[in-house]
Structure 1
Amino acid sequence: MEHKSQQMGRVLIVAGSDSSGGAGLQADIKTVTMLGQYASTAVTAVTTQDTKGVSGVEAMPSGVVASQMRAVLSDIGADVIKTGMLHDAAVIDTVLAVIDDVAFDGDLVVDPVMVATSGSMLLQKSAIASLKTLISHASLVTPNANEAEVLTGRMINSVDDMIAAANDILETGAEAVLIKGGHLEGETVTDVLVSPVGECRITSDRIDTPHTHGTGCTLASAMAALLSAGLSLEAAFEKAHSFVHMAIKAAPG
């Protein structure tokens, strides 16, 4: 997952737009930029949402998604492709087809976005099989505990459950799995990074705040940015976790 030294890492973000600016492409671009790397995009959907929730989703045709990806990859290029909201099987299959067709040899970070913080579904249930195929090609997968349950069929109630689920996902072909534990109950939150070389846990005090919209997108895009800059997986995890934790603490209210 290490890249050659260059002025800026290049991250192609393939995800949905969030009109509130708190999650999705907007959060991804802000994060990659704040971490000193270059963000390009392929818009997969336009969502109508505010701080209260999602009120509309307009998915982009798969051909439009493909043309955006090809335009970026043939010109600017990318060290890392980071996927977020991929609404249906057609778009997921298209993303994988483009990656294969251009023989992309960088890292693929898959954030398996399924449900918005407000509870709105952002992934069609019929697309889960295609999502699992995409995940099998990933350098890193970043599900929260609820998403990991869907992907593995395993109930997750503890950190040990998270690690077991991560190993299940590794067995599908993914190179590394980062499961976010914020959805579990408790006064502390533990995120776990699991790869064939071992596991890494980071535990922090739970911050009592309603301002967690977009934190999953931000962590995944932080990982993508740091990997594009040449950091190791473990170093990227530590820095990305710290970045998100400080952002939550700094949120107003």
Structure 2
Amino acid sequence: MHHVHAVYRPVSLWGGKTSIPLAERRPGNPGGNQDMNFFETHYNGKILLVDAAGPSAELISLDSSLVREYLGGAALNRALYDRFGDDDPVVFGTGPLTGSFAPASCLLVATFRSPFTGRIANVPLTLRTGPQVKYTGFDFIVIRRKSSNPIVVVAHNETVRIAPGEAYDGLQLSEMLDRARREFGRPESFVWSGAVTPSLAAAATGRGGGFDRRGLAAALTEKNIKALFIYGNDGLPFGSDDLAHSDRLIGEMKK
């Protein structure tokens, strides 16, 4: 069992005006020697914990010791999964370079117990999902327990909205997007549990579908979650020479 030291604070629900300010993030050298400098530069320091049964949401401080031990992504996801394992969570996690200029840094990883195999699975979610989670002000999103009714979860600029999801039942992907834009504005990214039966569904992150082969859509459906919508207007502070470093790395990769 991995232990997560958490400090809880409320997150505004239903589009409330009271948002949680981000901790100050100072630009720094990503290659620096100070652990805290790395932590503050590459992470927001925040985990969004959604209790689908409430529904309710809380903010947890991301402990820098977890970053030192697990770095991020699937490994840190698993530590958070173990912390909330009794509630059968679905954990969405970023890495330290997610949302940066680093090549291939757009990934978001979902960690959950597969309803198909009964084993812990990791599913990569591409396109803009990873950076958009970072830009909302959160590094990880943990969804636990089960809602009694269909819901959608909307993460936007340090706030979360949990809204009824009955109207999304039976919609095709294009119909879902049209409705989400009317209801919530224009989400930049999404994880959609699908319109078909859970045993056949694959979670989609774009009009072309996604890489879900382990039952992420089924895990979300079991929690009565129709979709996770993500859109943030924030960014991350990186050094002025990071874009040049990225260009050099891409050049090396193409050789």
User: Normalising by the residue count of structure 1, what TM-score does the alignment of the two structures yield?
Assistant: 0.28
Task: Kindly name which structure, 1 or 2, has the bigger radius of gyration based on alpha carbons.
Answer: 2
User: Normalising by the residue count of structure 2, what TM-score does the alignment of the two structures yield?
Assistant: 0.28
Question: Larger helix proportion, structure 1 or 2?
Answer: 1
